[in-house]
């Protein structure tokens, strides 16, 4: 055996000894008991996620009261939206930021806003196509943005981590908490104010303009409603009593109109942000596709035809 071969063999034995340790065992090897010694955390019971569940309950309750009790619905819906700001504080305070919580938060926002827009489409049928377009834009922009973030940045990335070089507008929106809160708050305020307007100037439905008949062709009078407290809380939204209550709950249009005009510019900015988000995310996905196709040798160059 040559000297060089002897040195290589000795070095290899030394490296093996170092990797395995003095006792011949791998020091990086852990027994299963060591890995499983810590208790398994229940992500679903983290405080931010519990706040998220409360938001869902409040949103569902607001949908129930939406056709008949504008004040009750507005309060429940508004509290559900405001809690969106507290789950982030809870996540940072308790160190409980999770991907499940981020998805739960986004899905709750999208679904609750969409449900309100569906009601507005029914309340203002002339503008139904606009509300339908807003629902489609909201869902598509956020879905493509989150998907593009995962594809470009990997599973560890967040949809809020937008660099200024990618989009200064989205960077300002997602990284500045004050801007994010004001835009989201005034955007929701606009739709809530529109909802209240549907109870102020005129009834929500043409059915409310008609006398609601009961058996024998009689007409229900507002002062003739005499039902138990339980039935008042759990009314059929399309019953004769509920329609009369909706008519009795009409509110003054002054403040809803003020809120509509004050919040309209910010609502428009929010829709512009959705369009920018949709276009940027689509561009990022297209760039990933171009890179992947180049790695696969696509498009294949056609062979020159010999004469």
Nearest to 163 by CA among 271, 284, 282: 284
User: Which residue numbers are catalytic?
Assistant: 109
Query: What's the CA dihedral at 30, 32, 35, 36 to 10 degrees?
Result: -170
What is the H or E stretch that residue 227 is in? none
Q: Which residue is listed with tokens 């040559």?
A: 2
Q: Which residues contact 185 (CB under 8 A, 6 or more apart)?
A: 81
Question: Quick one: pLDDT at residue 19?
Answer: 44
Question: Quick one: pLDDT at residue 227?
Answer: 44
Question: Quick one: pLDDT at residue 201?
Answer: 52
Question: Quick one: pLDDT at residue 152?
Answer: 86
Q: How confident is the model at residue 155 (pLDDT cuts 50, 70, 90)?
A: confident
| Chain mean pLDDT for the chain | 80
In terms of C-beta density within 10 A (0-12 exposed, 13-18 middle, 19 or more buried), how is residue 91 classed?
buried
How far apart CA 270 and CA 183 sit, in angstroms, is 7
Taking the CA atoms of 154, 165, 91 and 147 in sequence, report the sign of the dihedral they define: negative
How far apart CA 210 and CA 244 sit, in angstroms, is 10
The DSSP bridge partners found for residue 213 are: 219
Question: Quick one: pLDDT at residue 241?
Answer: 60
Q: Which CA distances in Å does 46 have to 36, 43, 50, 99, 230?
A: 20, 5, 6, 12, 34
DSSP 46: S
Q: Which residues contact 171 (CB under 8 A, 6 or more apart)?
A: 162, 163, 164
Q: Which residue is listed with tokens 């100037």?
A: 201
Question: Quick one: pLDDT at residue 57?
Answer: 97
DSSP 301: P
**In contact, 225 and 169? CB cutoff 8 Å:** no
In terms of C-beta density within 10 A (0-12 exposed, 13-18 middle, 19 or more buried), how is residue 298 classed?
exposed
Quick check: helix, strand or coil at residue 143?
helix
Helices (H), 237-253: 240-248
How far apart CA 236 and CA 117 sit, in angstroms, is 21
- Which has the minimum average pLDDT: 159-163, 173-177, 189-193? 159-163
Helices (H), 94-197: 99-123, 128-153, 168-175, 177-197
Tokens of 259: 């809120």
The DSSP bridge partners found for residue 219 are: 213
165-190 pLDDT, tens digit per residue, is 888 999 999 999 999 999 999 999 99
Q: How confident is the model at residue 250 (pLDDT cuts 50, 70, 90)?
A: confident
Average pLDDT, integer, range 225-245: 55
The domains found in the chain, sorted by start residue, are 43-203+236-295 (1.20.120)
Average pLDDT, integer, range 13-34: 49
């Amino acid at each position: 055996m040559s000297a060089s071969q002897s040195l290589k063999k000795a070095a290899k034995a030394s490296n093996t000894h170092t990797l395995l340790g003095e006792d011949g065992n791998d020091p990086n090897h852990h027994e299963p008991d060591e890995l499983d010694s810590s208790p398994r955390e229940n992500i679903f019971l983290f405080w931010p996620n519990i706040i998220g569940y409360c938001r869902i309950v409040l949103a569902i309750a607001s949908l129930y009261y939406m056709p008949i009790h504008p004040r009750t619905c507005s309060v429940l819906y508004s509290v559900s939206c405001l809690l969106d700001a507290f789950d982030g504080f809870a996540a940072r305070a308790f160190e409980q930021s999770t991907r499940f919580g981020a998805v739960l938060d986004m899905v709750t926002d999208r679904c609750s806003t969409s449900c309100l827009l569906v009601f507005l489409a029914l309340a203002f049928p002339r503008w139904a196509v606009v509300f339908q377009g807003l629902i489609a834009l909201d869902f598509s922009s956020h879905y493509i943005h989150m998907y593009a973030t995962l594809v470009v940045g990997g599973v560890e990335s967040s949809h809020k981590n937008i660099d200024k070089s990618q989009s200064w507008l989205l960077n300002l929106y997602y990284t500045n908490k004050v801007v994010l809160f004001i835009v989201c708050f005034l955007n929701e305020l606009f739709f809530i104010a529109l909802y209240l307007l549907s109870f102020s100037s005129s009834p929500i439905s043409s059915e409310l303009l008609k006398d609601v008949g009961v058996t024998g062709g009689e007409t229900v009078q507002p002062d003739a409603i005499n039902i138990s407290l339980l039935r008042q809380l759990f009314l059929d939204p399309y019953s004769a009593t509920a329609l009369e209550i909706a008519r009795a709950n009409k509110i003054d249009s002054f403040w809803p109109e003020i809120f509509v005009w004050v919040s309209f510019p910010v609502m428009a900015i929010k829709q512009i942000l959705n369009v920018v988000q949709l276009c940027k995310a689509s561009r990022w996905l297209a760039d990933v596709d171009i890179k992947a196709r180049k790695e696969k040798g696509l498009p294949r160059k056609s062979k020159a035809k010999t004469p």
